């Protein structure tokens, strides 16, 4: 069983709430709701459009992901391990590698390598093809990611992410000149799927029912030719949050064509630099393509 009590300003569709909190697909969330596994405010609901509001308690009974889906171990896939603790491992994910498979038999993802090294990860957390997943990074994003290898650690880390006690810092090359530091707050909603695209909406007293209030803080590190290297500390965590919010501010991530970048690079130049929790400081140095993109823009990227 998983449960949440919503105590901040909030309004979101139930299926989207489960997608965000459990890291499942919208279809998996919808099936769980329609199968009667989810209650809101003490009452079971089968309506995916039920609105989760401030003061709501959401309870999920049983697994959301099919338990018979197993990750194919891939023994030859290299893992760059940053650190390992009690029931968790921090990995430096390369850009271009998905975190988990989308279908049985798929290989080449981070979890295929994790399942080969830690076979007991199968079934951790929501189980299935997302076994052990605590949080996500886009396929094109490089950097630090945590994977739970034991159920107690998964529960503890998920709670820490939800309570924002884990510090997440990214580095991004963005178009234009950003000076000093600042904070961005917007309502975000998933506007399209396959490929995913997130829409940034103005703050409103009547937010879109499919949106989530999101925030981050940023600081300029170095400026170059038509671009700036910034660090970003995430408050909330939402699909494409940095990419969508930066674009809405007129500073799309360099190389991010989906959000309006006009500078050509091999990928969106976004890197998950550091995670901090329980006294652990877990850092992944920026990869070669990130450093090279900075050099092209006359920006020195420190490793």
Query: Which is higher by pLDDT, 26 or 293?
Result: 293
How is 162-218 classified by DSSP, letter by letter? HTT-SEEEEEEEEES---SEEEEEEEEEEEETTTTEEEEE---SS--TT-EEEEEEE
> What is each CA distance from 125 to 49, 131, 154, in whole angstroms?
25, 6, 6
pLDDT digits (tens, 9 = 90+) for 67-81: 557 899 999 999 999
Peptide bond into 195 cis (omega under 30): yes
Report d(CA 29, CA 118) in Å as an integer.
Answer: 27
Give the pLDDT confidence of 109-137 residue by residue, as tens digits: 999 999 999 999 998 988 888 899 999 99
Q: pTM, whole model, 2 decimals?
A: 0.81
Nearest C-alpha neighbor of 88 from the set 150, 164, 180, 162: 150
- The residues facing 103 across adjacent strands are none
Closest by CA to 91, choosing from 131, 135, 122, is 135
Domains and CATH numbers, the chain: 2-60 (3.10.290.10), 81-162 (3.30.2350.10), 167-296 (3.30.2350.10)
pLDDT in tens, 53-110: 878 889 888 777 665 578 999 999 999 999 999 999 999 999 999 999 988 889 999 9
């Amino acid at each position: 069983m998983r449960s949440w009590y919503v105590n901040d300003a909030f309004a979101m569709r139930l299926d989207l709430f489960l997608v965000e909190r459990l890291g499942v697909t919208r279809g998996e969330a919808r099936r769980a709701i329609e199968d009667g596994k989810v209650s809101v405010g003490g009452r079971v609901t089968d309506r995916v459009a039920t609105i989760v509001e401030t003061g709501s308690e959401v309870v999920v009974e049983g697994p959301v992901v099919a338990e018979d889906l197993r990750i194919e171990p891939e023994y030859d896939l290299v893992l760059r391990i940053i650190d390992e603790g009690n029931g968790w491992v921090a990995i430096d994910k390369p850009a271009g590698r998905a975190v988990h498979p989308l279908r049985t038999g798929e290989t080449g993802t981070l979890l295929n390598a994790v399942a080969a090294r830690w076979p007991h990860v199968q079934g951790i957390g929501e189980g299935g093809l997302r076994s052990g997943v605590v949080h996500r990074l886009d396929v094109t994003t490089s950097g630090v990611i945590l994977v739970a290898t034991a159920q107690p650690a998964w529960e503890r880390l998920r709670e820490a992410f939800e309570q924002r006690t884990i510090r997440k810092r990214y580095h991004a090359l963005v178009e234009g000149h950003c000076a000093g530091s600042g904070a961005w707050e917007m309502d975000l909603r998933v506007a399209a799927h396959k490929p995913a695209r997130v829409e940034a909406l103005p703050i409103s007293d009547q937010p879109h029912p499919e949106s989530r209030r999101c925030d981050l803080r940023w600081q300029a590190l170095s400026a170059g030719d038509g671009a700036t290297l910034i660090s970003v500390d995430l408050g909330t965590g939402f699909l494409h949050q940095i990419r969508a919010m930066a674009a809405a501010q007129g500073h799309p991530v360099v190389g991010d064509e989906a959000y309006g970048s006009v500078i050509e690079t091999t990928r969106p130049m976004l890197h998950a630099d550091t995670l901090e929790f329980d006294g652990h400081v877990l850092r992944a140095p920026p990869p070669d393509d990130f450093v090279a993109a900075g050099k092209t823009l006359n920006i020195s990227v420190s490793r």
